[in-house]
Amino acid sequence: MNQFLSVSEGRHLGQKDTPVYHRRNTVLVAGGAGFLGARICERYIEKGYCVYCLDNLSTGRLSNISHLLDLPQFRFFRHDVVLPITLPGPVSLIYNMACPASPPRYQIDPIHTMLTCVTGAINLLDLAGQHKARILQASTSEVYGDPSVSPQCESYLGNVNTVGPRSCYDEGKRAAETLFHDYHLARGVDIRIARIFNTYGPGMDPLDGRVVSNFVTQALKGVPITIYGRGAQTRSFCYRDDLVEGLLALMHCKKDLAAPVNIGNPGEFTIAELATQVLALTGSRSPLCYRPLPQDDPQQRRPDISVAMRELGWRPKVKLADGLRQTISYFASELRRNAPQDAKVVV
């Protein structure tokens, strides 16, 4: 425990209402200060659980969890998953969300991204084994690389470059899936693997460089919308709350589900169509500008979610336009909060 820098620890000592962190009602969210991890923390607090949130704050932000920090049933530990992990008490559920998800962010230090995926997975799997906890891996549609089939179903083996700018993430996530599979077979660890497709929504970092963050902030500021390539490549965008409900359904499903499961929204849009929707919904007059397509940028992505629908009874509910409205309003308030007095935000 002493390797942790605990931000919230100690505030709870002596409080009458300090809850007991029983194994059965305690969850660990690694990467819990990130976009998706913070929402998972929130959902478990709502469900009456105690939550350990562990994060190195490399791409996550304390502002994502600031409303939870003072709760006695929430404890934050600043820690890197690459280092060995011990916890102050037992847990029954572990989410491994710890990894930068945005291409420009995970490419800043590719070796650390690979270490996060691989050593981080080993450390968390060992922890799951010690605590007899179920552990869910946040895997990704990137394991399919630049796919030659569409939609992508779980049995598709992928088309991934081992030596490109995206490889640290794609191959790291593939290796992590292998580690999960082998810990399950060789050591009986109770695993779940979610292959997450592009997700957006409130809580994203406006500066993370992902397409939704870029387009919405550019539209709100009235500056050019940066389309990489001709914008003909496709993505399928899932709203944050739909995605997190899918992860919870997978984690709590009583069936034996150790194999990977796609979680995403099958609605498929070109990047040019996304730009058009963002401009229409913000009422912005930002011009479009075209930039070179990054190397190995996948040309299409669309999940086949029949396994998730059949086994979990889950499907996404939020349409892109509705999710974008929520996201635009969140980004507008983030920009207002961070903008100098005289800065212009269009809506």
Catalytic residues: 169
Q: Which of 56, 59, 92, 233 binds ligand UDP (CB under 6 A)?
A: 233
- 128's contact among ligand UDP, ligand NAD, none, with CB below 5 to 8 A by partner kind, is none
Q: Which residues contact 280 (CB under 8 A, 6 or more apart)?
A: none
What is the CB neighbour count within 10 angstroms for residue 48? 9
Number of residues located near ligand UDP, criterion CB under 6 A: 14
Phi, psi of 234, rounded to the nearest 5 degrees = -115, 155
Residue 234 in contact with ligand NAD, rule: CB under 6 A: no
Write down the least CB distance from residue 33 to ligand NAD, Å: 4
Most distant CA pair in the chain, distance: 60
Rule CB under 6 A: say whether 210 interacts with ligand UDP: yes
User: Does 297 contact ligand UDP by CB under 6 A?
Assistant: yes
Pairing of strands 268-270, 234-236: antiparallel
Residues forming beta bridges with residue 268, ordered by sequence position: 236
Question: Least distance (Å) from ligand UDP to the CB of residue 112?
Answer: 18
Options 78-86, 208-216, 253-261, 327-335: segment touching ligand UDP (CB under 6 A) = 208-216
* Residue 173 binds ligand UDP (CB under 6 A): no
Q: Is 55 in the site for ligand NAD (CB under 6 A)?
A: yes
Q: Are 339 and 212 in contact (CB under 8 A)?
A: no
What lies within 8 Å, CB to CB, of 98 at 6+ separation is 30, 31, 34, 37, 54, 55, 56, 81, 116, 120, 124
Residues in the interface with ligand NAD (CB under 6 A) total: 27
Nearest-CA neighbor of 127 among 92, 173, 99? 92
Binding mask 63-102 for ligand NAD (x = CB under 6 A): -----------------xxx--------------xxxxx-
| Site for ligand NAD, rule CB under 6 A | 31, 33-37, 55-60, 80-82, 97-101, 116, 120, 138, 140, 196, 198-199
